Amino acid sequence: MYYKTKGYRLFSIFNYTFLGILSLLCILPIVHILAVSFSSMAPASANLVGFWPKGFTTDAYVKTFGNSNFIDSLLVSVKRTVLATAIGMFVMLITAFPLSKEDLSFKGRSIYTWFFVFTILFSGGLIPSYILIQKLGLMDTIWALVLPGALSVWNVILMMNFFRGLPKEMEEAAYLDGAGHFKTLMLVYIPLSMPAIATLSLFTMVGQWNSWFDGMIYMSDVKNYPLASLLQTIIVQQDLSKINVDPSMLENVSQRTVRAAQIFIGALPILMIYPFLQRFFVKGIVIGAVKE
Amino acid sequence: MKEQTLSAPRKERVVKARQRWNMRRNWSLHIMLLPAVLLAIVFQYIPMGGIVIAFQDFKPYLGFTGSKWVGWDNFKYLFLYPDVGQVIWNTLLIAFFKIVAGLIAPFLFAILLNEVRLTAFKRVSQTLVYLPHFLSWVILGGILLDILSPQGGMVNQLIVALGGKPIFFLGDGTWFRVTLIVSDVWKEFGFGTIVFLASLSGINPALYEAAEVDGANRFKQTLHITIPALMPITIVLMTLSIGNILNAGFDQVFNLYNPLVYDKGDIIDTFVYRLGILNGKMSFATAVGLFKSVVATILIVISYRMAYKLANYRVF
């Protein structure tokens, strides 16, 4: 067998080492940030912290949560994530179901499909969308963050392909028993699609939690910023003018450990749902996307 | 037509009857599509109508109807405006290297991972490399600002320890481009392997056994079985990526750049944002955005057709 040869064993040693290093490279920067966030100020500013906290303290987290802007933003993020995922999944399911029908049994299906697919290919762009949100009076409301993305055509296509993979006999049996389309969707399709729905919900949640740009342009008051947008302004732009807090607070914000704590809190929900996400996504993506 | 129906076998009549029955009940399917249609009209198609301001000198207080029409002036300005050429060139350059490196890295990683026979190692490795894909560029931007800092960031500490001079990765134009490409590959290569690993798992093991019998070593097997098996999906990904040549990654650039690197790091999307939202030149920004959108749409349609012709792959 090939793997018993000397050359292959040598290759294996190299291979395991190389892949091991690459894998660690993906996680070490996050470990470093975590270590900095739990270190005390002096070793952190002197760049003495590696991958383990020096002078362990939770000061940075206490300060972070002592900032009322931060708590407000956290709540906005939670709210938008919950709302957008619930609405997004509902819209996706009721849209994917009709589109999963055959052209013959649902006249107009292909017109609808092209109507939606065109929005993937072409868009009005940033400025017209911005003017629209202004004109609709959605500025500084949670709906500016939820509604524009409520219809994800990509998700609809994935879900549609999943529905098409379900056995036709189930659907026919439901119709023969007198169920209408709504009942068939609710009682047959949705229960059979729970793994796919779970996968897409998790992806939507991640997308919503991470979304920062819409918050920055559609919210004029920092109170309404979702967490990702707030982090963008205070960590990346280091723009402290937008945060109206007392000067001692400003001192804290500019500290490296506090920045690290904020970064880590921003990443934490993703890290927490990641194990669930990973269990589903390989299967989910392959089911929906790879067509043979 | 009628005669045909009558002379057709019974089975077909049953099918036709069922179709008629379906059609009668299809009103509910249209109702189900209503929310999505409304959302698409309001948030996609109406903004598409908004691109008329690219042909106007749009002033928010005058509105669409009150603003002056200027025809193609904004587009003429587009090719005269001093920075636009540089911005388009930056976009193409950064996007091109991201696409190429973003294809090669997962391709190689998948092949190497395929040689790992310790399942636990494979699973842990996959878990780690997929992770950065799910973190946003705000988080990763914050992390990169920290570890790439010229004042004792981790990376520069390592460079100094190895006897080099600290590099200002985010402050020097050329290094900034390199940082964009490398950090993008770092974020996405793991996730990109999924599609290659899926193809690898579809290879018939009998092929390897036959090669083994014929005396091929593992390297030759990789060369003549594994790599050819990955070719169809590679061609698909390559053609589909043509549509991305104008997407250099707004989120990433926006979270990493600063005025020091505007000359070499500014891309179309960040340019449109600064011009339109910050400087209030809404019409000109929309014209630049529209120019990009039209070119991108044409490229996407071409790439989808090519993927279908070359690899018989349908996106929709």
The pLDDT tens digits for A148-187 are 999 999 999 999 988 998 888 888 888 888 888 889 999 9
- Please compute the mean of the pLDDT values over residues A55-79 and round it to a whole number: 89
Distance CA B22, CA A86 (A): 30
Distance of CA A217 to the CA centre of its chain: 19
Residue A186 sits at the chain B interface (C-beta within 8 Å):
no
Residue A280 sits at the chain B interface (C-beta within 8 Å):
no
pLDDT at A288: 46
Contact between chains at A259 and B51 (C-beta distance less than 8 A): no
pLDDT digits (tens, 9 = 90+) for B116-127: 989 899 989 998
> Does residue B105 carry a pLDDT above 80?
yes
Would you place residue A286 in the very low, low, confident or very high pLDDT band (cuts 50, 70, 90)? very low
> Does residue A188 carry a pLDDT above 60?
yes
Whether ipTM exceeds 0.95: no
Query: If you average pLDDT over each of A274-278, B34-38, B217-221, which comes out highest?
Result: B34-38
The DSSP letter of residue B61 is: T
Distances (CA, A) of B28 to A106, A287, B36: 11, 28, 14
pLDDT digits (tens, 9 = 90+) for A89-142: 999 999 999 999 888 888 889 999 999 999 988 888 888 999 999 999 999 999
Compare A289 and A75 and report the one with higher pLDDT.
A75
Compare B33 and B316 and report the one with higher pLDDT.
B33
pLDDT digits (tens, 9 = 90+) for B61-93: 888 888 888 888 888 888 888 888 899 999 999
Nearest to B246 by CA among B277, B274, B268, B270: B268
Distance CA B278, CA B272 (A): 9
Q: How far is B93 from chain A (nearest CA, A)?
A: 22
pLDDT at A290: 42
Q: What average pLDDT does chain A have?
A: 86
Q: How far is A71 from chain B (nearest CA, A)?
A: 18
B40 neighbors A119 (Cβ within 8 angstroms) = yes
- Minimal Cα distance from A158: which residue of B? B316
- Please compute the mean of the pLDDT values over residues B97-110 and round it to a whole number: 95
pLDDT at B239: 87
pLDDT at A173: 87
Distances (CA, A) of A139 to A8, A84, A224, B173, B283: 62, 17, 10, 36, 21
pLDDT at B83: 84
Contact between chains at A210 and B36 (C-beta distance less than 8 A): no
> Does residue A233 carry a pLDDT above 60?
yes
> Does residue B299 carry a pLDDT above 60?
yes
Task: Tell me whether residue B232 is exposed, middle or buried, using C-beta atoms within 10 angstroms of its C-beta: 0 to 12, 13 to 18, 19 or more.
Answer: middle
A124 neighbors B48 (Cβ within 8 angstroms) = yes
Contact between chains at A25 and B186 (C-beta distance less than 8 A): yes
Compare B77 and B15 and report the one with higher pLDDT.
B77
- Please compute the mean of the pLDDT values over residues A245-255 and round it to a whole number: 52
- Please compute the mean of the pLDDT values over residues A189-212 and round it to a whole number: 91
> Does residue A291 carry a pLDDT above 70?
no
